[in-house]
Structure 1
Amino acid sequence: MTDTNPPAFEPTSIELQSVADSEIIAVSLYSTRAEITRLYKFAVKTGQNQVYISGLPNVLEAESLRVEGRGAATIHDVMLSMENKHVPKSSPKLEELLSTREDKADALARCEQALSSLRQYLGSLTVQNLAVAQLESVLEQYEATGARLDARKKGLARELQRIDADIAAERALVAIPPEHNKLRNKAAIGVFAQTPGNVEIALIYAVPHASWTAFYDIRVDMDTKESPVKLIYKAAIKQNTGESWDNVPLQLETSTPTFGLGVPKLAPWNVDIYQPPSGPTPAREQTRPSWHAPESWSIPIPGQIEAFRDESRSRSPPRASYFSADEEDMGHEEAAVTSSGNVNATFRVPGLVTIPCDGAAHNFTIVELRPKAKMSWVAVPKGEARAHLTAYITNASDYTLLSGTANVYVDGSFIARSVVPRVSSQESFSCPLGLDPSIRIIYPATIKKLSQSGFYKKSATRSFTQRITVHNTKGVPIDGLRIVDQIPASRNAQIKVKLVQPALPLSEGEAAKGAESSAGPKVKGASVVVNKGVVAQWDGGDETDRRVSWVCTVPAQGKINLALEWTLTVSPADARVIEL
């Protein structure tokens, strides 16, 4: 028995407009491009159905286009081509304005003709055909009629100017290609259906001219001992792809997709002995490869619509979530951040967002982090009696932070703009926080005195004392304050400089020689406890850099006193010492 309803030989044509007949159900935004997923729902007939989807972005990357679907049908092939849309030269509004202008211009011409006729009539009057008694009445009528025609002429002239301006503006709008002229790509999809019914097709494609960059707010609460730093991760999103993203779920990807990259190959590198030419050398003909852009691209994608391709990409949810078998499938994941391999992360912007096609930056907050942070204060009171504050922040999250600018706030006040480098998981970076006015440092003048003189004035010794007072006005103690000062370094054997306080050890070589009169080369990393919470150490790199530092813990509303003492012995005693 033959089938009474064989499949139609002629394919059924289905025309869809991409923006009107679909919705964007997923946007994955990378640093230089975006991946868009559009969902189309339509009915097919038994047999071959040729689906034409117009209005896809001009910048769509053809190699990235792929099709997935659901329904009792089979996808045969996909072809992408560029439509040559007609750009309208006029519009109903422009036609109406032109018609109105023509009417007004005719009225103005009639008005000018009436004025001309009136003047001609007045000039034609003579004594023979006009009595003197009637002259006053005629002149009054002439004046009234002329004034009315003049007013109408001026009014019509103003209306024509306004209409001309409206026409110029409308012509400018018509001359500029409308936004849909950025959407001239057209996809042709062959779908063979065994039975009539409804199907769903998802088009997934990549587009350039879309990007996001990271930037941060770093907020520091100096009155908080635990977790004093809050790092607010933000994204500035731009897109000028030709289509507006209206109420879309947006994913921000920290990875950077690469296409067509391979291991570079080295060309042969040879050397030879130069041989001068024996005669004229003919000019080498220059050739350039030619390339012709095809009018269309054919992307065959065979397979059943029911069979979804399982592309194991950790950044995207299962493709089945693209299709709404029931209303539950349209839900969004609650997690705001997912990480992959401690390297890349996917940030899901909460809710649905709208990013117009305007190329302007639209800012969103991604996530708030409480990173590990250690505060460090450094003061060099000899140069400036103020403490510089730096936060050493550790990325405690499982993903990499991208490089970006940061606005730094301390106790609610904006104090600096900094840069966050690319920071891997558990990696640290420094963030300068400016001066800390709550740490007050007093650095008085150095006390100098001649302590002793050698027998017969063979040598003279002078002692120097530098006092430093540090006051912590905070309500919490500070830990890790580093105060840096220095003693002079001798450049002559006749001058001996010895550090007295703090009593830092010398190098083993100097100690073996018993050179107690000279500070000598320092033991790198050597330190001594001066008081409770105060440790002194050499801070320089070699014997030519005689810096001393104290690492201090200062209690809340407390003070500490530091002292730096050294002696300078010169022989003979009358030798003149100069500072270099």
Structure 2
Amino acid sequence: MPYDISSLPTTSVTFHPTTATVVRDINISIKPGLNEIIVDGIDPLVNLESIRLEGSGPATITDTQTELVPRDSEADEEEEEEEEEEEEEEEEDRETETIPLPLQEARQSLRTRQAALAHAQDNQAAATASLRFLDQYGLGMKAAEVETAQLATFIEFYHDQRAAEHVRHAQAGEEITDLEREIAQLARTVQKEEHAWERSQKAASRLAQREGLQRRRQIEQRAHQRRRERDERRRFRPHAVYRLTILLDCQVESEDDADNDTEREAALRLSYMVPRAGWRAQYDLNINTPTSSAKLVYRAEYHNGTSETWRDAKVILSSSQAVFSGLDERIPTLKPWRIRLASEDEKAGLWEGGMKSREEQSAQPHPLFGKPAALQAPFRPASGAFAQPATQASSPFGSQAIAAGGRAKSLFGSAQAPAPAPAPATGLFGAPVQGYAQAQAPAQAPAQAQAPAPAPDPAPGLFGAPAPAQDSPFGSTQPAPEIPLDSLRTEHGLTTTYNLGMRTLPPSSISRRHILSQLTLPSLSLRRVVVPKLRRAAMIEARLQNSATALLRAKTGITLDSTFLGNREMPPCAPNEYFTLSLGVDPTVQVSYTGPTLERGTATAGFFKEKEESARFTRVCTVRNTSSEPLSRLLVLEQIPVPTDKDVKVTLLDPLTVDCGEEREEEEEESTGERAGQIKWTTQLLPGEEKKFTLRYEIRSTGRVVLCS
């Protein structure tokens, strides 16, 4: 008993991030004994281990077999022939639409009269030919060969036939005269209508012409749409499909039942998992700084890239396989600056490790053939407001983040591969977001703030910002149709599902969008973060509190005060927890940086004490608020070296007191801590106000070279 997969009703389709689980119902009639059910047309990339069968009725599933077979193309050819016939009918309609109806009727009447005239002329010619035939026959008769009785009969027949043909000839002549008159009148009518049509075309308004053109374009667009859909279906048609053979044993209780061929009803439920289908989350974050509020629109983008069409199926989105990983660009983080004494075989300058940390050295631009670093990159004007170069970012968690429990398993036990890592995110105002574990090369610090040295141009994005180059697993990046919010959210432990209702999903390279929820975030605070030794810029950091909905890692479009600024990756966040987003560089805050400067100290020695060398280092950061609004919170981060050798001592000299409302915080963590030696200032800046933050520290050693460890 064969079934095609396209004819089976689709009960439900559950989308996971990279796969989809399809459930179909099969209502069958079976007879006593062994029954064979064949299901053709299953997607060739189906996960064979995921195929599951459940049944109800008077039968037992004894065996199932799967094999790859060539696809039957007869149904496709019939469908294409029907579409071609529809296109031909529309083409004829398009041709007739251009001719006015009165002219069409006049031409049709003229053709009818011309056909009638031809028929009348034929009748007249036939009557003439009949008379000529009788005359020739009579002239050919010989008196010696024809009896008198036969001659009388022929003459009588000749008179009767000639009278009949005369009437026929006369009637045809009258009909010809009438038809010629009507034809002449119709010809004048057709000519008149044609002239009127020509005049109406010439005198037609532009609006009427535009409407006619629009009509023709609509017909052409419909034809083009049908051709595009047909080509799209051909694109997803495989050359081979899987065939599922199901063997059912319908048991009988007695021999009488075995002899009875009465069919019995049974039901099968077929479920399987297919790739090239899935969904992903998308967010739109709208931040309003005057009211310190934020709204989040939670969207789902799903697609069917298989060879199957799921008609009237219950569509469900599931986060059970949501394994998201990737890199995120974040604000620079000061790692511990550890120094030690150099060994005997190491060559380096004195106090080298006290001048700059390894991260700071790697962030500095290196001259090329003796040229200053600022001249290495060619001049490149900003392609948008506040444009900044992009840098590579590191993961906000130090490594690729995965969902709780590691790699998520599929519904039928097969593991899902993690989603592809996203590209570096771009910050707001066209500036990239700096990563914690990677520094950016700063330029030489003049009296005023400078932007960092230009990086190679990535692909241009909105407002001059580099656009993230991301390979979308969803195929085409064309705008997807937006579906209104009507989903039902359900939570099952760590899994959240969204029921989108009934949908028909044909295979397509275009994804669909659905609004899952619109959230108002309860808390929002903004601050500027300055890490001058790694970047001469003030970066905006937003701290937001999540609502009661768990957020997945996803691309987020950020709008700041009604201005769309770009996209970036949002980290995953549990309900009611806080998360931070770097919004790029604030161009209204100028940052300049001077340092480090070296001041050699005097050598000291004691009777039982080894000779010591000392040096003092000074770094000065100047921050100025050029905007007309006060900055309620400004965070400046610096650091001093952390010695790992007992013969090296580091002493913080400045700041010693709290000035201008600044609060100095020196981390007291262990030397192995991530923030050992970090100095933090938290302050406020009024409009036009400028503040300096001075860091001075002293390093003492036994005279050997101090290196970064």
Please tell me the TM-score bracket, short chain as reference: 0.3 to 0.5
Greater relative contact order (Cα < 8 A, sep 6+): 2
Give the TM-score normalised by the residue count of structure 2.
0.40
With normalisation by structure 1, the TM-score equals 0.47
